[in-house]
């Protein structure tokens, strides 16, 4: 019987500026197209992994409560990849906590799998460089590969397991954008992204979206590097609309928007036409991420809070990379 070995890590979610939707390989989560994101500061998942030789099966506690079987299964399969790599046979106790309400409609799988990967590798005693860490996090949730890095991040589709990982485009301090997340609904989405990616290929629009992605990536990269908000706004909104057009034309169709989603999109368009530095993007859910140019966030937040039907607004500056914490218990 060995001694338990544990490690604790923290990671933040991210908002995609050019989105990942659809896989070239579902099993390995190799995406059909590259993507770019901003890591979200202020929001984080803290996860402790303890390999315990006495445990009969993996345990997963989220916010102090045992997770539902499908979530435990997904985590166990991810831990198996790490166990294989490190020659570890012990089962693990995984305790995870988000500092944002898990029902807030903010995708937590990116921060969850980034923190889990980092903590599990450390607990297994496996040394890893950033690229390998990002590749492994990708296997748990595609967008998690971007949450390994801070600031502005690009995920090269790569086409193979070895080549598909994220790298940093610019540090968090490079450009003080703010993401105001307009929370339209806290209800969990009916179709999760893992299933959604499998439907992408059923839309006749997906091939055109994928074929045009290198152009949007180049525009987005350049807008970030030159801190050009107008250029960023144009490509971010086009990209989001293209992904939702694919979703809405899949078989079966996926409609993530609610009436307030469209109300906010229209309000943001009006505000920008009137000169405000704000644009909108939506992931696989009804909430609207309102990206604000530096110095504009508090004015936009006041206007957002006046839109009827909103459940709340979260304020996120660019955030840092996933990192290890001094090992400690994770409270629920």
The structure tokens 């899949």 sit at 250
The helix or strand, by DSSP H or E, that contains position 291, with its residue range, turns out to be: strand 288-292
Cβ partners under 8 Å of residue 200, min gap 6: 21, 22, 23, 32, 206, 246, 247, 250
Query: Does 20 contact ligand PMV by CB under 6 A?
Result: yes
* Cα(74)–Cα(295) distance, integer angstroms: 41
Any contact of residue 194 with ligand PMV (CB under 6 A)? yes
Taking the complex as a whole, the smallest distance from the CB of residue 272 to ligand PMV amounts, in Å, to 22
193 forms part of the interface with ligand PMV (CB under 6 A): yes
- Contact with ligand PMV (CB under 6 A) among 45, 98, 134, 143: 143
Helix (H, G, I), strand (E, B) or coil at 190: coil
> Using the rule CB under 6 A, is 16 a contact of ligand PMV?
yes
Binds ligand PMV (CB under 6 A): choice among 10, 58, 95, 283: 283
Whose Cβ is closer to ligand PMV: residue 249's or residue 327's?
Answer: 249
| Residues 304-323 within binding reach of ligand PMV (CB under 6 A) | none
Burial of 88 (C-beta count, 10 Å sphere; 0-12/13-18/19+): buried
Quick one: which of 284, 321, 322, 330 contacts ligand PMV (CB under 6 A)?
A: 284
Q: Which stretch binds ligand PMV (CB under 6 A): 40-48, 62-70, 93-101, 105-113?
A: 105-113
**Toward ligand PMV, which CB reaches closer, 105 or 277?**
105
Stretch that binds ligand PMV, among 15-23, 128-136, 206-214, 258-266 (CB under 6 A): 15-23
d(CA 15, CA 329): 29
Instruction: Tell me phi and psi for residue 212, to 5 degrees.
Output: -85, -5
Q: Which of residues 108-127 bind ligand PMV (CB under 6 A)?
A: 109-110
What are 108's two structure tokens?
Answer: 């937590």
Q: Are strands 59-62 and 91-98 parallel, antiparallel or unpaired?
A: parallel
Shortest separation between residue 145's beta carbon and ligand PMV, angstroms: 8
Estimate to the nearest angstrom the gap between the alpha carbon of 125 and the chain centroid: 26
Instruction: Check residue 107 for interaction with ligand PMV (CB under 6 A).
Output: yes
**Size, binding site for ligand PMV by CB under 6 A:** 16
Q: How far apart are CA 262 and CA 172, in angstroms?
A: 30
Is 19 a residue that touches ligand PMV (CB under 6 A)?
yes
User: Which residue in the set 6, 32, 33, 35 belongs to the binding site for ligand PMV (CB under 6 A)?
Assistant: 35
Q: How far is CA 72 from CA 78, 97, 98, 140, in A?
A: 10, 15, 16, 12
C-beta of 254 vs 297, nearer to ligand PMV = 254
Q: From the CB of 284, what's the least distance to ligand PMV, in Å?
A: 4
Asked if the peptide bond before residue 45 counts as cis, ω within 30 degrees of 0, the response is no
Site of interaction with ligand PMV (CB under 6 A): 16, 19-21, 35, 107, 109-110, 141-143, 193-194, 197, 283-284
């Amino acid at each position: 019987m060995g001694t338990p070995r544990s490690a604790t890590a923290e990671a933040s979610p991210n908002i995609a500026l050019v989105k990942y939707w659809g896989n070239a390989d579902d099993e390995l989560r190799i995406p059909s197209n590259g993507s770019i994101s901003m890591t979200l500061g202020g929001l984080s998942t803290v996860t402790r992994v303890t390999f315990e030789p006495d445990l009969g099966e993996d345990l997963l506690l989220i916010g102090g409560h045992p997770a539902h079987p499908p979530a435990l299964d997904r985590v166990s399969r991810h831990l198996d990849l790490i166990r294989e790599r490190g020659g570890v046979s012990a089962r693990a106790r995984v305790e995870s906590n988000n500092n944002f309400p898990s029902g807030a409609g903010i995708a937590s799988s990116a921060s969850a799998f980034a923190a889990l990967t980092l903590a599990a590798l450390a607990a297994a005693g496996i040394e890893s460089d950033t690229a390998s860490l990002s590749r492994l996090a990708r296997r748990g949730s595609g967008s998690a590969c971007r949450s390994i890095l801070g600031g502005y991040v690009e995920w090269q589709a790569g086409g193979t397991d070895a080549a598909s990982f994220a790298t940093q485009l610019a540090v968090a301090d490079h450009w003080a954008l703010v993401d105001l997340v307009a929370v339209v609904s806290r209800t969990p989405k009916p179709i999760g992204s893992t299933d959604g990616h499998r439907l992408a290929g059923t839309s006749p629009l997906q091939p055109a979206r994928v074929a045009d992605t290198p152009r949007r990536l180049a525009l987005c990269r350049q807008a970030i590097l030159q801190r050009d908000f107008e250029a960023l706004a144009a490509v971010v909104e086009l990209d989001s609309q293209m992904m939702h057009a694919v979703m809405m034309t899949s078989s079966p169709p996926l409609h993530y928007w609610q009436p307030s989603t469209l109300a906010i999109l229209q309000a943001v368009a009006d505000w920008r036409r009137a000169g405000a530095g704000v644009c909108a993007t939506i992931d696989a859910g009804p909430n609207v991420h309102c990206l604000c140019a530096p110095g504009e966030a508090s004015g936009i937040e006041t206007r957002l809070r006046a839109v009827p039907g909103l459940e709340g607004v979260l304020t996120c500056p660019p955030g840092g990379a996933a990192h290890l914490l001094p090992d400690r218990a994770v409270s629920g």
